Amino acid sequence: MTVGTPKYRELGLTDSEFELIVEKLGREPNDVELAMFSLLWSEHCAYKHSRKLLRRLPTEGERVVMGPGENAGAVDVGKGYAVAFKVESHNHPSAVEPFQGAATGVGGILRDVFAIGARPIAILDSLRFGELDSVRSRHLLDGAVRGIGHYGNSIGVPTVGGEIYFEAPYEHNCLVNAMCIGFAKTADMVRAAAAGPGNAIVLMGASTGRDGIGGASVLASAELDEGDDATKRPTVQIGDPFEESKLVECCLELLAKDLLVSLQDLGAAGLTSSAGEMASAGGVGIDIDVAEVPLREADMEPFEIMVSESQERMLAVVEPERVEEVRATAEKWQTGSAVIGTVTEGGAIRILREGEVVGEMPVEALVDGCPLYDLEPAEPEGWIYGNRTTLEETASPEEELLALLSAPSIASKRWAFEQYDWLVGSRTVRRPEQADAAVLQLPEAGNAIAVSIDGNGRRVACDPYAGTIEAVLECAQNLACVGAEPLGLTNCLNFGNPEKPTGAWQLDRAVTGLADACNALGVPVVGGNVSLYNEGPDGPIYPTPVVAMVGELPDASQVAGNAFVNEGDAIGLIGPFEPNFAGSELAKQRGELKMDLAQPNIADVAAACAIVRDAVRAGKLASVHDVSDGGLAVAIAECSIAGGIGCETNVEHLRERGAQPTEALFGEGPGGFLVSGDRAALEELGAVLVGTVGGERISIGAGDRSLSVSLAEAREAWTSLAARAEGYAA
């Protein structure tokens, strides 16, 4: 600590925030109180730069069971069942220590879901790293993938989907966003509000140590400087999936037996946050005696116990006469349980040590008292992220196609997803890369759900408003590809510093885009998470709203895959796809990125989604794949590679939509579905016929840019990630 700097500033509070705390307490806070305030008043916990913006999002819908404010959102899937879901970032810890950062990211999001009484049934993850030719990026990729696998595999929850992008602006701030899906009987679900003065506060699970102390304020709300890796390592949490596995089973059994009044996970800011939020939600007070908290190290200070981010812990409110039964269940599952406090009347959170008060604060001041800030957005004057040319304009169309197929962001992610158990639970109807969305059957409810997670930061950087709408549309299109109708959406907003004009502008435009897209599609936002200050010495990350959508489909056996199936099938294009060079992967490789992106027509895309959804449900399509990164040519090649069968196609008609030949091949934009099947069926759907399935080559007519590559060359390019992802040599 620098001599002369006030402690509160070291903890991330501003002078005026500190003055406000003094005003609310009527005195200066002691160290315990200061530590607790600094964490709950951090961006990570208080959303002080984003909360006002988030009020723009639509949160209501007839299928919404739980909305924002609970540990996870949930939607009704029929027959008395609900699906819960949430996505959360663990970016800063993963940038410091990727294995544990990603592992505990998974552990944390699982707890959010079983905290509301839902059994976790699937994990998805959305990852961003710097370019793959960077040693650091490969180190982070390898560690994060191993970490996700380690936790998810060991706890028996399948990792069914996700996405990975590699872009230079993530070099110093990788993104690790983990999503969990849960399944519950709606009647068994529980909220997080503490209630009933006199009830016991029971800490379940692992003991409390010094790991992760200060994570929320020191890590998550400050920019990372070069050289920080070593000094910040002690604040990264260590995960133990075995402990969590027991804790899941124990908590679900307690809820099934109706032994808990409420339940809350311990995440960022540990006991401080969960106790504070439970008290705030219930309008009650809480006493916690830190001497009753089982510790890993005997000499921990009260403030350390209150802010520790030791993993695999839950906080429950239990009626006194049920405490013994709760403890017996914990013993059965060989996990910890300790009564550490009491629900009280009035609105104070009191921290005691062996009965002596060491901290006392009004809950309202601690949890809801943090000032909310208005942003001061200003649009940057031009492209702030730089350009790097890796593909010359003189390249042939064949070279361009192979360069795009082997681009790490586009190439097959088999190397990564085969390190995850994607099938445990017997619900996974479509494996990763078999279809555009993950499909999970719900025999209990007699139907199935589909899940997609998307967010192309590069396109959002080109236009935060249009790019964010595209992320929502991409999810909706992916769901349509498997015949699913959206039920709800969650998101994780990964952005740079909101106190800087550009960061503020990106965030403001992106949230507006998210709100407009959700309103137009009629999809409610049931939860979300915000990760700001993702900036390093080279500037901010691409603004990256990661959008995750859950949809419902009546019959999982009717899901089409994305692979061409039958020799002779017609290939068609459905939807208002208008390929554009702006913001495309090809524009990136040519080093021609700038502030520009076509404005999407949400209503037209929604109409196309409905056509495709109905056609899939009716079993009219042999394959369906949305046109995304790399444009139509890449979509065609992916369908061929997946099916092991070539095709003869022509995309020249896209000239009518204003596309030059190169744009017709590789231009990007929302709204396109590449389908195959019976010719008459495709015509009936209004598809523009573009070719026929068959042969050993992928041939695409595009005027003077026509191309033809062998299936083998295309496959080699598309499956090249594994060889490049492993190894640490530059």
Partner 1 sequence: MIWGVLQFPGSCDERDALHACEVHGDGARLVWHESRDLDGVDGIVVPGGFSYGDYLRAGAIARFSPAMEAVAEAAAGGAPVLGICNGFQVLCEAGLLPGALLRNVELRFRCHQVELIDERGGERLSIPAKHGEGRYYAPEEMLDELEGKGQVAYRYAEDHNSNGSVRDIAGVTNERGNVLGLMPHPEHAVDPLTGSTDGLAVFDRVARVAA
Q: How far is the CB of 556 from partner 1 (least distance, A)?
A: 6
- The yes or no reply on residue 424 touching partner 1 (CB under 8 A) is yes
Give the active site residue among 44, 49, 92, 625. 44
- For residues 212 and 308, is the Cβ–Cβ distance under 8 A? yes
Helix axis angle, 602-617 to 501-521, nearest 10°:
50
Residue 652 DSSP symbol: G
Q: How many residues bind partner 1 (CB under 8 A)?
A: 32
Residue 422 binds to partner 1 (criterion: CB under 8 A): yes
If the CB atoms of residues 332 and 388 are measured against partner 1, the closer one turns out to be 332
92 is catalytic: no
Distance of CA 219 to the CA centre of its chain: 19
Tell me: does residue 433 bind partner 1 (CB under 8 A): no
242 to 261, contacts with partner 1 by CB under 8 A?
242-243, 245-246
C-alpha to C-alpha distance for 598 and 579, rounded to whole angstroms: 9
Round to whole Å and give the CA distance between 185 and 125.
25
- In the bound complex, what is the minimum distance in angstroms from residue 180's beta carbon to partner 1? 16
For residue 432, which of 460, 451, 448, 445 has the smallest C-alpha distance? 451
Given the complex with partner 1, which of 360 and 418 has the nearer CB atom?
418
Least distance to partner 1 from the beta carbon of 82, Å?
19
DSSP structure string for 686-724: TPEEEEEE-SSEEEEEBTBT-EEEEHHHHHHHHT-HHHH
- Smallest gap from Cβ 555 to partner 1, in A, equals 10
**Based on CB atoms, which residue is closest to partner 1, 129 or 420?**
420
Min. distance of Cβ 582 from partner 1 in angstroms? 38
Q: Which is nearer to partner 1, 81 or 666 (CB)?
A: 81
Instruction: Write out the binding residues for partner 1, residues 402-421 only, by CB under 8 A.
Output: 417-421
Of 49, 111, 427, 459, the residue at the interface with partner 1 (CB under 8 A) is 427
Within 379-463, where are the H helices? 397-405, 414-417, 457-462
Instruction: Provide, rounded to whole angstroms, the least separation between the CB of residue 516 and partner 1.
Output: 37
Q: Known catalytic residue: 44?
A: yes
Element containing residue 129 per DSSP (H, E): strand 119-129
- Give the nearer residue to partner 1 in terms of CB position, either 241 or 540: 241
Query: Rule CB under 8 A: which of 126-185 touch partner 1?
Result: 146, 149-150, 153-156
Active-site pick, 49, 90, 172, 625: 90
DSSP annotation of 216 reads I
Q: Measured between alpha carbons, how far is 264 from 278 in angstroms, rounded to an integer? A: 7
CA dihedral in degrees (256, 261, 265, 270; nearest 10)?
-150
Q: Give the span between the Cα atoms of 595 and 6, in whole angstroms.
A: 42
Cβ atoms 670, 631 nearer than 8 A: no
Give, as ranges, the residues between 255 and 314 that touch partner 1 (CB under 8 A).
Answer: none
Give every CB contact of residue 682 below 8 A, 6+ residues apart in sequence. 570, 572, 675, 676, 689
Between 556 and 595, how does the x/- string for binding to partner 1 read (CB under 8 A)? xx--------------------------------------
**Applying CB under 8 A, does 241 fall inside the site for partner 1?**
yes
Question: Helix or strand or coil: residue 386?
Answer: coil
Minimum distance from residue 413 beta carbon to partner 1 (Å)? 13
The smaller minimum CB distance to partner 1, of residues 171 and 421, is found at: 421
Cβ nearer to partner 1, comparing 678 with 716: 716
Cα gap 709→713, rounded to integer Å: 7
Q: Which residues is 547 bridged to in the sheet? A: 454, 491
Place of tokens 């506060």: 201
Q: How far is 678 from 568, CA to CA, in rounded Å? A: 9
Q: Is residue 603 near partner 1 by the rule CB under 8 A?
A: no
Q: Does 334 bind partner 1 (CB under 8 A)?
A: yes
What's the min distance (Å) between Cβ of 149 and partner 1?
A: 5
Beta strands at 485-494 and 525-531: parallel, antiparallel or unpaired: parallel
Please identify, using beta-carbon distances, which residue of 372 and 423 lies nearer to partner 1: 423
Q: Does 452 bind partner 1 (CB under 8 A)?
A: no
Task: Point out which residues bind partner 1 (CB under 8 A).
Answer: 146, 149-150, 153-156, 240-243, 245-246, 333-334, 417-429, 431, 441, 556-557
By annotation, the residues acting in catalysis are: 44, 90
